[in-house]
Amino acid sequence: MTGAQGNVRTMDRSAGRLSERAVYAVLFAAFAGVTAQLLVLAIPRRADVTLAISEPIAATSFSRPDIVDRNGRLLATDLEAPSIFADAGLVLDRDEVVEKLLTVLPDLNGDQLLRDLSDKNRRFIWVRRGVSPGVAQKVHDLGLPGISFRYELKRAYPGGKLAGHLLGYTDVDNRGVKGIERYIDEKVGVDPVHSAVLSSRPPVRLSIDIGVQHALEDELDDGARRYKSEGAAGIVLNIKTGEVLASASLPRVDPAWPLLTLDDKHADRISGGTYELGSVFKTLTLAMAFDEGLAKPDTLLDVREPLEAGRFTVKDFHPSNRPLTVTEVYTHSSNVGAAMLGLEAGPEKLATFLKKVGVTEQMTTEAGPLATPQLPPRWNRVSTITASFGHGIAVAPLQFAAAAATILNNGKTVRPTFLRKFDAGAADGKAVVTPDTSRLMATLMRLNVVNKDGTGGKADVPGYRVGGKTGTADVAAKGGYTSNSVITSFLATFPTDDPQYLTFVILFEPKALEGARGYRTAGLNAAPVTGELIARIAAQLGVAPQTVTATQ
């Protein structure tokens, strides 16, 4: 009996050990299962595994290449951003879901979402795409059944509003809608993706320089505040290559939030609008007169009497009460003198010249088409007079700047581009005016800055041989012009002994400063803004300062 009892106890202990091992095995298997599930859940960016089987398999977004400046600094890139969707079949209380979502997303269309959630067969409903991680976390913390997340690509702009008009923007599917972003879709290429897959395409390298762009926007901001203008715009252009180094329009826009700025106030004034620019147009008129052999710098014009142009009388802002040389017509900014040169050429010759330098037909760049020039309905005596000093003809500022650059580029056509050119050589443009005319206009622009009677003295920057021309134009209105609003501008080039760069600064409806006797002409506002801009960017652009002489 004792042996039998011992055997029974041994068998009981063995069975106990087997039972204990079985329990451990079950527990181990359970822990292993939990661990495996946690590992699956921890795999990054796999939110798409939660999608309902009925979700469409078509691409929901597009992968885009980066945009960088001429030196490779980042301007735009794709980021992985969470998007929120709902599965109506899993929603327990649609009213509660909508009510709680509105606490995080107050601009959500709650009525529409209620209607969408009422159909239990709808297994995939977008709630909000491309939200910030913080918003996604708040929605997650609501703990709403049927609300889930997936990652998509969303365009991001590290510089914020920097160069916002030029860059353009994308839609909710990350497709380019405007500006360089649209150019990428049309000419470079984007890739359809089903999830957050970053592009493998090389970056799109622009011609602009972030440092020059920042300086331009900063000086325009300061000028707009100082002169209380309604807006401002400006460009910096490489005359030799046509590369736009900076382009800005105020008020700025944020390409990440385009819907907040899609109004006339935030339009791109550089390329999206046309304006009568005033006396800067005399640069073209005099270039025509010199190139056609109609005048020389010392040709005398009797500007003492006003000119009748239809129902308008053309006179000089500061009458000279004596004949002026053509050089003085430019430096004194004589409307009568410029009109006389236009009449000497005649309507047909003036219109032909303006077409030749590129201001009468619509221009297109990589950022899209510019606003169509507004031309006189017919070229006659009146339109010839007014166009000679920049009235009765309206063009986009970028288009005018390209025409002026053509005059200064040894007379060869300049086509502006927003893409970096890697060929260091000058653009091989078509000859429009002779090299002699080009050099002569650069000299006149320098004289207008350094001569005591010139209108551009406040744009001078010691050592950098700045030349330029002022423009002050009344704002066009229905049936005529406003009596209390002007657009002022300053066209500049430096160094004038061999023009390399062109700047064009425009202020819209500036106000007169105290002590200016009510004057708000370009020499008092656009010119000093230009001088401060050039003082900041000349060294960045590699222009070495030299000793300034009286006329060089």
List residues with catalytic annotation: 279
Q: Which residue has the tokens 């000419």?
A: 187
Q: How far is CA 473 from the centre of its chain?
A: 24
Q: How far apart are CA 544 and CA 423, in angstroms?
A: 22
DSSP 74-142: EEEEEEEEEEEEE-TTT-S-HHHHHHHHHHH-TTS-HHHHHHHHT-TT---EEEESS--HHHHHHHHHT
Work out the number of other CB atoms within 10 angstroms of the CB of residue 103: 11
Q: How far is CA 486 from the centre of its chain?
A: 24
Work out the number of other CB atoms within 10 angstroms of the CB of residue 545: 13
Contact between 534 and 545 under an 8 Å Cβ cutoff? The reply is no
Q: How far apart are CA 63 and CA 74, in angstroms?
A: 16
With b for 16 or more beta-carbon neighbours within 10 A and e for fewer, the 126-153 pattern comes to ebbbbbeeebbeebeeeebebbbbbbbb
CA triple 489-491-492, angle to 5 deg: 135
Q: How far apart are CA 335 and CA 465, in angstroms?
A: 26
With b for 16 or more beta-carbon neighbours within 10 A and e for fewer, the 452-481 pattern comes to eebbbbbbbbebbbbbbbbbbbbbbeeeee
Element (H, E) at 501: strand 501-508
Contact between 208 and 163 under an 8 Å Cβ cutoff? The reply is yes
DSSP designation for 541: T
Residue 272: partners with Cβ closer than 8 Å, 6 or more residues away: 165, 249, 370, 371, 396
Q: How far apart are CA 528 and CA 459, in angstroms?
A: 5
Q: Which two tokens stand for residue 53?
A: 């089987």
Q: Which residue has the tokens 């079949």?
A: 89
The amino acid that residue 364 corresponds to is T
